[in-house]
A and B are shown apart, each in its own frame.
Chain A
Amino acid sequence: MSAISDRVVPSSGHSGWLVWIGAASMSFLAVFALALAVSAARLADTWSAALAQSATIRISAPPAELEGQTEAVLEVLRTTPGIRDARVMTVEEQGQLLSVWLGPDLPLDALPLPRMIEVWETADGPDRQGLRLRLSAEAPGAIYDDHTQWRRPLISAATRLRGLSVLALLLIGGVTGVIIALAASAAMASNAQVIHVLRLVGARDRFIARAFVRRMTRRAALGAAIGTALGMLAVAGLPAFGPEATSGLGFQGLSWLAPLCVPVLIAGVALLAAAATALKVLRGVT
């Protein structure tokens, strides 16, 4: 009997295509917005985790004073609470860092390189203001750089990006709802005679609405499944960039499960939009 309840609304009609294509396109877009949101969140996490507990001390001083100031800095660090470890970078390591910018085969000896000390902070970190004061007293050429100045804009850019992609997801949901609502009211208008007959035989609004809503939801879910699958393929096909596994744009590991929610959410939006529209239309028709 449910078979006939499903068929009381004829399946023909162009609104079917609208739902189908609309849901597929919106899902495709939603997968991209989701990929952006997930990547942005991951980048923000990675950057803040990697940078939060590290700092660099740069010592620029005449060659004669360099050794002394380095010793003094290390001594200050040893006696400062909140510092886990510190290590003087070798000239080769500095060369590696610079080669990213200046190319290989740098004549390191010819460059007046400052001395670099890598510092690892504890979770709570040191009292940075106090540390800077002590350093300027003990080693005037030392500058404590906790990376905040370039960490902040990066992290806030990533956070902003994530916010924007969440906004995009909301817009996609809203547009999907509008498409479904329009399609539902078009379907009901073109099936006015069917609704009339159903009313004559005693069907309630709920029964009639369900017949339309089921059809809409099923089409939307199918379209969304296809759109999502294509979106996931497209994201999987994005070229990875950067050496680290975390640097790519897209899904990784468990986050591949996130786009699987898209068809479910799109179908949910379709169901709500179609049901609200159908009941509203039926209330206006006697």
Chain B
Amino acid sequence: MIELQDVTHDYGGGALFENVTASLDPGSFHFLTGPSGAGKSTFLKLCYGELRPSRGSVAVGGSDLRAMSRDELAAMRGTIGVVHQDCQFLDHLDVRANVGLPLHATARPVADRDIEDLLSWVGLNAQADALPPTLSGGERQRAALARAVITAPRLLLADEPTGNLDWDMSQRLLSLMIELNRMGTTILIATHDMNLIRTAKSQVSSRVLRIAGRRLQSAGADL
């Protein structure tokens, strides 16, 4: 589902990581860990094409992002879900409209029922009419996850989706992602939260990637 070939990324102050090669199979469940500032968010941005690698190539679903036109990149983004670390809402639209945005923006039918169901799953029924800036950090993350999965994406990239959540709510979102994975969605979650990773490992077969020291390593079972 995601292929990185010899990817090097450099924001201008020296390479953040070098010659990273990785392959995430369709239907797989991956975690991405590493110290703060190691480049987890950068890695995800490379995957959905917000950033272009300084060297090497990134392919999603078999298509090289470099070869895509802007419309093709947009079409690709329409088929994947992304939870951004900073959520990226339209602050003038209410939570309900933000959650439905990936459907509105790509002229796909919007079932109000699906949005309501999803909002109640992430516990945001009461905030459906609220504007994003009025939400707490945890509420924002829940809304961001709801928006990422509203399209039933084939790939979900989640950047610290549980960073601001209490343990119960983290578990709840994790089980939503595990459920999606069972239905075929490829999942990649960037997180620091080792408890979350351990809990997930007990429920779903998953692998852990670790960025550190400009390398991407496959972490062993020694978590």
Contacts and interface: CB of A to CB of B under 8 A. Distances in A.
Interface of A: 1, 4-5, 7-8, 10, 194, 196-205, 207, 283, 286
Given A1-B103, A197-B89, 13 more contacts: A1-B104, A5-B104, A8-B101, A8-B104, A198-B90, A200-B50, A201-B78, A201-B102, A202-B74, A202-B75, A202-B78, A203-B74, A203-B106
Contacts of B50: 200
Contacts, number: 71
B104 A200 contact: no
Contacts of A10: 90, 92
Interface in B89-110: 89-90, 92-93, 97, 100-107, 109-110
B166 interface: no
Interface residues of B, number: 29
A204 B104 contact: no
12 contacts: A4-B100, A7-B93, A8-B104, A198-B101, A200-B82, A201-B77, A201-B101, A201-B106, A202-B106, A204-B75, A204-B106, A207-B106
Given A7-B97, A194-B90, A205-B71, A200 B107 contact: no
Contacts of A199: 74, 77
Main secondary structure of the interface of A (DSSP, over half): helix
A198 to B, nearest CB: 6
B105 A286 contact: no
B53 to A, nearest CB: 14
A200 B88 contact: yes
Nearest to A282: B70
Nearest to A208: B105
Contacts of B110: 1
B84 A200 contact: yes
Nearest to B52: A286
A203 B93 CA distance: 16
Contacts of A205: 70-71, 74
A204 B77 CA distance: 10
B147 interface: yes
Nearest to B74: A204
B90 A8 contact: yes
A10 B94 CA distance: 12
A262 to B, nearest CB: 33
Nearest to B88: A197
